Structure 1
């Protein structure tokens, strides 16, 4: 008996370029049916690599947002707002969710902090109207501080 949640391989499957969702459903069906010889390996690999890039890009973006808000909190005390705290909380939660789903991403956090710090300073500088030279030249926060929901500089 066929499980309606498990797509079966389509005999005349649409091509990768024609209908991505139908193509993916077909590939899933082929995998579940152990019809490995029929898989579109080149495009499967491309999609998997794209998924990895997407996860990493999303994490880098969230790290940068947390850094911006930590810098703003530290270097513009009179303008501190509930909105900044909510953004910090939300982004830290989303980083934690990604790491929970993919623990291997945790080891990349320090590199993302280092690589995105300059951008974070540029953004914080624009938003605070303070010169970039007012901010430290290297990231002053540790990974644990980035993740710690109670940490505020």
Structure 2
């Protein structure tokens, strides 16, 4: 999920319905894991913070943009990431190529 949020941070104009679906699916999966494993929930913020550097490295490779476009530490708290409701993507003809 952090990968998708990092990509959204650097390329919001590239948001697609598929990308939104991935974010929503991952939010649901993470919530289910936290509900199923309460001890995981207590560590989730730390796990997410530790995963951020990998997320921005992967986002940089996928977007072909420099990793420096993302902050070195995540601006997303776990609650914010799980509660994020992605906007609708721009109409197809309006998206830059």
TM-score tier (shorter): 0.7 to 0.9
**Partner of residue 86, structure 1:** 21
Quick one: which of 52, 57, 60 aligns to 1:122? 57
Contact kept, 8 Å, 1:68 with 1:121, in 2: the verdict is: yes
Unaligned runs of 5+ in 1: 1-65
| RMSD over equivalenced CA pairs, Å | 1.4
**Aligned residue for 1:107?**
42
Q: Size of the alignment, in residue pairs?
A: 87
Question: TM-score under structure 2 normalisation?
Answer: 0.82
SS at match of 1:93: helix
Q: Secondary structure at the match of 2:80?
A: helix
User: Could you tell me how far apart the structure 2 residues matched to 1:88 and 1:124 are?
Assistant: 14
Match of 1:49 in 2: none
After superposition, what is the alpha-carbon deviation per residue over 1:90-132, rounded to whole angstroms, capped at 9, x for unaligned?
1111111111111221111111111111100000001111101
Shift of 1:88: 0.6
**Uncovered stretches (5+) of structure 2, i.e. residues with no partner:** 88-97
Out of 26, 30, 51, the residue aligned to residue 95 of structure 1 is: 30
User: Structure 1 CA distance, aligned partners of 2:8 and 2:42?
Assistant: 26
